[in-house]
Amino acid sequence: MKRTTSLGDQLKRRIGEGKTSQKEYDGTDKTISTGSTLLDLAISGGRFHGGGIPCGIMVEIFGPSGAGKTVILSEIAGAIQRRHGQILFHDPEARLNKAFAKLFGLDLTTISYTVPNTIPEVFGKVRSWEPEGNGPHGIFADSLAALSTNMEMENKEGDKMGMRRAKEFSEELRKTCRILTDKNYLLVCSNQIRQNLDAGPYGQKFTTPGGEAIGFYSSLRLRCMKPEKIKDKVKMAGKEVTRVIGIKTEIEVFKSSVWKPYRTAPLTILFDYGIDDVRQNLQFIKDYTSNTVYSIGGTPLDRSLDVAIQKVEEDGLETELKEETIQLWEQIENKFTQDRRKRR
C-alpha cells in the first residue's frame, strides 16, 4: 500500500531542498530574535542566516507613543529567557505586568526586576550584575525617557535646562559599554521622541531625550514609525461593533554597526497576541512572488489571509514559512549586490 504524505511533510521536504548555501552561516546561536523574521533580516540578514541581534552591544528602540517599542523589547527579553539566559529588567515607568509579560514567554518571577528613578541606578547595576550560566544574558530599560537625575530628585530647583541629565547619560554609558562587550551582554533600551524644529543631520525633525550619548553609544538604533490602528468588526443583536485590536507599524534600522542601516520591516502587533510573524511572512511571500493566493512552497493555502494563517498553525508550518521567507528575502537582497572588482 502506497504511503501518503501530509501537506506538512511535503512542504518540509520541498522547502528543505531549496535552502541556500548561506545556511552554514546560521545565526541561531549567535543572535537574538526580535520576534519578527523580517525585522531580524533587516538588522543582520546579510551576516547571519535568519538575522537577529548579536550580543555584546547596546540597542535603542525609539519612536512615538503606541508604536510598539515595549512589545519589541519584551519579545527580545522573552527570546533570551527561552534560551536559558538571565534577564535584568529596569522598568522606571512600572508598566510591565504579569499578563503582558506572559504574551512573550517572559516569566517575571525568575528575572531581576527593578523600578529605578535615576540614570546611575540603571547603569550602575549593569556594571555590577553577575548572572549565572553561559547566557545569552540581557539587560532591558523601558524607557530611558522616564529616568531622572539625583539633582532633579533632591533639589527643589531641579535640572531645568536638562544639562545634568545628558551629562549623566554620557558618563554612565562611557563606563558601561565596554562591560557589554567584555561580558557579551545585550542591553536593549526604549526611548521616546521629541519634536525638533531644526532638522537633524538627515533631515529628521525629531530628537530623543537624554542628549547625544544614547545615539552615539548605541550600536543599533531601531526607529518605530507610522503606527496605524487595526480594527475589527462583530455583530451583536444585529448591530455592528468596532474595536481596535492592534497596530501596524514600520521599523527602520536607523543606525547600525551590526550590518547595513536603513533597511525597513513591516510589523503587525495584536494586543492579546504580540508580534504576528505568521501574518507578515505570508503577506511578504504573496507580495514578492507570482502567487495570487497565500501559499507555502508553491502550495496554495487560501485567498483569505486569516484562513491561510489558520492552516499554517493547524499544520505546524511556522518554521517552514519562516525558512521560505528568509530564502525569498535573500534572493531579493542578492539583486542589490554590487558586481565590482575587489578594491586594491
Domains and CATH numbers, the chain: 27-270 (3.40.50.300), 276-333 (no CATH)
Q: How large is the average pLDDT for residues 123-147?
A: 92
* Predicted confidence (pLDDT) at residue 197 exceeds the cutoff of 60: no
- At 19 the three-state DSSP class reads coil
Residue whose entry in the numeric block shows the C-alpha cell 518540509:
12
The predicted structure's pLDDT at residue 135: 82
Task: State phi, psi for 113 to the nearest 5 degrees.
Answer: -120, 130
The predicted structure's pLDDT at residue 157: 62
Alpha helices in 83-157 (DSSP H): 98-102, 119-128, 150-154
Q: Where are the beta strands (DSSP E) in the chain?
A: 31-32, 53-54, 58-62, 87-90, 112-114, 137-141, 185-191, 194-195, 206-207, 220-236, 239-256, 264-270, 274-275, 294-296, 299-302
Q: How confident is the model at residue 204 (pLDDT cuts 50, 70, 90)?
A: low
The pairing of beta strand 137-141 with beta strand 185-191: parallel
Percent of the chain with pLDDT over 90: 69
150 or 337: which leads in pLDDT = 337
For residue 151, the one-letter residue type is M
Nearest to 332 by CA among 296, 287, 294: 287
The predicted structure's pLDDT at residue 200: 59
pLDDT in tens, 19-44: 444 443 455 578 999 999 999 999 99
Extract the C-alpha cell encoding 12: 518540509
pLDDT in tens, 67-115: 999 999 999 999 999 999 999 999 998 888 888 888 898 888 899 999 9
The predicted structure's pLDDT at residue 119: 93
